[in-house]
Chains A and B, each alone.
Chain A
């Protein structure tokens, strides 16, 4: 969930009133936001870098507000204020308009076919006669950063470039070139670099190095030139210094390059709807033309208003259609009842890209109505409950194993290869283990194929407890299985260990007998159960037996091999039992 930091006093000024922290928290809750933290720049620096670094920092109060991940229109002060003001009926939701330039032709961005190999899409627009202040400028930069981190998926899907239009001249060309052939002075640098040099320069940049991988391995890098060959930007890495925005900038050229054109359109709409507020004609955006390699021309920004006719499916507490239309209007979704049954006509503004279905509209009606004002009802769904048989058996067994004096352990389903193989004297290739491709540490290399290592590790962590230690676990292991759609299946196991000064095979054997008694299996070769000597490197030679039920092997028990005991950092003899539970269903 993205977090937006806004200066409290600026926020209250824009909202036209002040709130106590509690009141504002309450408002956020109602609207689906979360006032996550109340802090200041000074506090943040002091927390992250120590008090000494913080001494000069501002102590203006900041609100850190958590915003739902699909509400890109709330990622800056401007959007937050607009949303809340409309919600509180203090403002009518603006209508955003795309306009043609007053004089001359629209700005043009021509895409060449070379971009297809790296980043094929681009969209653009112009904010005309905008007035920046320091706060507006900061918010403008911050919104780009927030969009980059969220919908743009760290610039991989979309990258935004904003330019002082008065320093450059169109038409602009979006092309792709070999890194050695691109040369310009990047933002905040004093000299020119080739793209190759830039990539190595930014290797150590704490911010930009995260984006290098997006184009690093490509034969050509994306680049945007103006008609005089000035580089606007090398997306998605860096803009040129020449066209950078300052507080004095009056006209802004915004380009978004992308691998996902839908997202590029949304991002451009967000930038222009949020900041067109500061244009001399508020909420108007000057169009730009994008010419695709096939000659097709598109005009941006889209600023599409879709009109949805929807029926009130689950009316909160049978409110009238008119009332629901009013509720929706408070959520920036201008609506009216059409008079045809329960139909409502809803205008979905370009800021609300999250609305893709009637259910999204109905949610907004419920939010405006107040979730907590809705009457709680009980569905009349009549059903009879069934337990999952395997879990039912597991529950019954667990109770009786505890009654038999064994204590239940609960271990992780993930572990290291070593735990399930080397330490037990087995080869990993024999385990049928499912392997994880991206473990952060060795603890998450494989899904366990046996419960035994977990129990032995539990004993190792509890060596100071009085002996004997008698532990059990009934849980799932994971085994590769080609007959399953995912190529693996869970297997429910029962494992028990006895750890004491003497091996206590008879104790574990007794537990097996008790378990079989509980499962209603008689001690008999053939139709009952029996155990017979087996070889297993996990166990001490001659001290291991295989458990057979109706002639089928279901597990093993025995005295652990001293090497196994040592590898789990234990010092006493130990006997163990592990068997499948599923055959007893």
Chain B
């Protein structure tokens, strides 16, 4: 609240005029800085309809620094005249004064002084008139008092040329009485205080209105990482569908469980140094279930279980090589093997965890990413069942338009790529991979022949990037992430991917 005295003085001025008054005029008359009046106007506006104030802009003359100096001490030429005594002054003395140079030539052209070059002891200056009238100073004083109208345009322009005057645009308020005009204003409180509540004074007080256009202060809170939030959602979906979570906390896996058990041949390109991270320490795995290992070896090298196999020289050395798992399906294989060692009961499993690929990196590929995987094992599951489960799963993500493309995967047959219709791109985009595990994978484990296992997988990063509109995976995962993004990307309202 501006000073109450100023506010009231302003209101008294406004009271006297019916058609309003200019804020600058008020400032001049009250001998206050204009900004003080502007402050008073603003605080009155905030109170309600006491006054009405219309913002106007007007051109206005203002003295420059030099102009103000002249208004105070006189023009340079007048000061030159004033500093010359009757007996005259040596020119060199005059030039030592700050205003000497400019004032001398101007006073000369006004014919107020004369220069005697031949004077003994050097050139000397004498007055030529008795007294002078300092018109420049008077004009400036007039302007300073706000009486610009008493001067002619020509005179003002001349002063402007001498850089004593400048024209500025001034924003002023045209103030008139408002509907609830009064000359007294109750002081407004900004906030309710404990004291007011205790003594009841709030009842008498008026409160300054809030600016509801402004943003609030951000809460001092922590944030979950967007990718992990989406992971939570996927976990939730699987749990809702009755899937049990697999223990995937083993990044290091043997080639045996990662590839061989899945009937992925040892010469397969995925087992290349260019695609997979191998370990130098611990380099090799040991302790394989021996009977099972023999069956795996046989199905690769000779066939069996209704299969011709790949007919190549299967080597235990290759199977022993430790790697960073390239998919969580390695864990699914361990789980299915474990399942096969008991009396069979149907299961539904899922996992969401990290996998690693020694691939070329780009805007959408990192050396590690999260794989989402779902697995169902039961008697007589069909391709129709797989598509039905996928439909239910993706519906929970808000994706209802699905179609399936035949694909190839070494450990599933049939294999289907899952496509969803992208409304934005107006085309079908791949959202996952799926299939029925091959008998060459399941039967060596010891699962009953009439049990089939359907499975699907997708990456966690891709749907998250789509959901949050992120184009570069490095902006989402890893230490280069922008924490502001973590703070901001938190929308929950609807877990529908706009695919």
**Interface stretch among A102-110, A290-298, A353-361?**
A353-361
Give CA–CA (A443, B478) in the complex, Å: 12
In the complex, the answer to whether A413 meets B376 with C-beta atoms within 8 Å is: no
Does A509 reach chain B (CB closer than 8 Å)? no
Residues 256 to 298 of chain B near chain A (Cβ within 8 Å): 267, 269, 273, 277-288
Q: B376: shortest Cβ distance to chain A, in Å?
A: 6
In the complex, the answer to whether B383 meets A476 with C-beta atoms within 8 Å is: no
Interface size class of B (residues with CB under 8 A): 35 or more
Give CA–CA (A1, B221) in the complex, Å: 47
**Interface stretch among B161-169, B172-180, B236-244?**
B236-244
Does B32 reach chain A (CB closer than 8 Å)? no
In the complex, the answer to whether A31 meets B406 with C-beta atoms within 8 Å is: yes
Does B225 reach chain A (CB closer than 8 Å)? yes
Does A230 reach chain B (CB closer than 8 Å)? no
Does A340 reach chain B (CB closer than 8 Å)? no
Chain B residues, Cβ within 8 Å of A280? none
In the complex, the answer to whether A413 meets B354 with C-beta atoms within 8 Å is: yes
Known: A386-B245, A408-B225. A381 touches B378 (CB 8 A): yes
Chain B residues, Cβ within 8 Å of A69? 269, 408
Does B310 reach chain A (CB closer than 8 Å)? yes
In the complex, the answer to whether A357 meets B307 with C-beta atoms within 8 Å is: yes
Known: A398-B228, A410-B481. A262 touches B413 (CB 8 A): no
Give CA–CA (A485, B250) in the complex, Å: 11
Known: A153-B267, A408-B228, A487-B282. A356 touches B250 (CB 8 A): no
Does A439 reach chain B (CB closer than 8 Å)? yes
Q: B293: shortest Cβ distance to chain A, in Å?
A: 12
In the complex, the answer to whether A402 meets B383 with C-beta atoms within 8 Å is: no
In the complex, the answer to whether A487 meets B251 with C-beta atoms within 8 Å is: no
Give CA–CA (A549, B235) in the complex, Å: 30
Residues 95 to 131 of chain A near chain B (Cβ within 8 Å): none
**Interface stretch among B3-11, B108-116, B482-490?**
B482-490
Chain A residues, Cβ within 8 Å of B279? 434-437, 488
Chain B residues, Cβ within 8 Å of A444? 277, 358, 367
Does A377 reach chain B (CB closer than 8 Å)? yes
Give CA–CA (A408, B489) in the complex, Å: 13
Residues 399 to 419 of chain B near chain A (Cβ within 8 Å): 403-408, 410, 413-416
Known: A262-B311, A366-B383. A407 touches B487 (CB 8 A): yes
In the complex, the answer to whether A391 meets B487 with C-beta atoms within 8 Å is: no
Residues 436 to 455 of chain B near chain A (Cβ within 8 Å): 436, 438-440, 452, 454
Q: Residue on A with the closest CB to B487?
A: A407
Chain A residues, Cβ within 8 Å of B238? 385
Out of B269, B322, B389, B406, name the residue touching A371 (CB < 8 Å): B406
Does A405 reach chain B (CB closer than 8 Å)? yes
Does B150 reach chain A (CB closer than 8 Å)? no
Known: A379-B381, A487-B285. A367 touches B406 (CB 8 A): yes
Does B19 reach chain A (CB closer than 8 Å)? no
Q: B391: shortest Cβ distance to chain A, in Å?
A: 5
Does A363 reach chain B (CB closer than 8 Å)? yes
Q: B250: shortest Cβ distance to chain A, in Å?
A: 6
In the complex, the answer to whether A387 meets B239 with C-beta atoms within 8 Å is: yes
Give CA–CA (A262, B223) in the complex, Å: 57
Out of B278, B367, B454, B479, name the residue touching A458 (CB < 8 Å): B479
Give CA–CA (A557, B453) in the complex, Å: 47
Chain A residues, Cβ within 8 Å of B346? 381-383
Out of A358, A374, A461, A469, name the residue touching B387 (CB < 8 Å): A374
Residues 318 to 336 of chain A near chain B (Cβ within 8 Å): none
Task: From A357, A362, A478, name the one whose CB has the most chain B CB atoms within 10 angstroms.
Answer: A357
Q: A91: shortest Cβ distance to chain B, in Å?
A: 20
Q: B467: shortest Cβ distance to chain A, in Å?
A: 16
In the complex, the answer to whether B368 meets A414 with C-beta atoms within 8 Å is: yes
Chain A residues, Cβ within 8 Å of B222? 401-408, 470, 472
Does B224 reach chain A (CB closer than 8 Å)? yes
Q: Residue on B with the closest CB to A457?
A: B479
Out of B225, B387, B414, B486, name the residue touching A362 (CB < 8 Å): B414
Does B388 reach chain A (CB closer than 8 Å)? yes
User: Residues 320-359 of chain B: 1 if any A CB is under 8 Å from the residue's CB, otherwise 0?
Assistant: 0010100000000000000000000011100000101010
Does A207 reach chain B (CB closer than 8 Å)? no
Give CA–CA (A386, B408) in the complex, Å: 32
Does A532 reach chain B (CB closer than 8 Å)? no
Does B308 reach chain A (CB closer than 8 Å)? yes
**Chain A residues in contact with chain B, CB under 8 A?**
1, 29, 31-32, 34, 68-71, 153, 157, 260, 262-263, 314, 316-317, 354, 356-360, 362-363, 366-367, 371-372, 374-379, 381-388, 390-391, 395, 398-399, 401-414, 434-440, 443-444, 447, 454, 457-458, 460-462, 465, 469-472, 476, 478, 480, 484-490, 492
30 contacts between A and B (CB under 8 A): A68-B407, A68-B408, A262-B310, A262-B311, A314-B380, A356-B309, A357-B308, A362-B413, A374-B383, A377-B387, A378-B388, A379-B454, A381-B346, A385-B241, A388-B247, A398-B228, A405-B220, A405-B222, A407-B222, A408-B225, A409-B481, A412-B368, A414-B356, A414-B368, A435-B280, A480-B281, A486-B253, A487-B284, A490-B249, A490-B250
| With A376-B387, A440-B358, A461-B482 already in contact, 14 other A-B pairs whose C-beta atoms are closer than 8 Å | A262-B310, A314-B382, A357-B413, A384-B242, A385-B242, A395-B235, A405-B220, A407-B222, A407-B486, A408-B223, A412-B367, A444-B277, A470-B222, A476-B251
10 tightest A-B contacts by CB? A487-B282, A32-B406, A68-B408, A457-B479, A437-B280, A363-B414, A402-B222, A388-B245, A376-B388, A490-B249
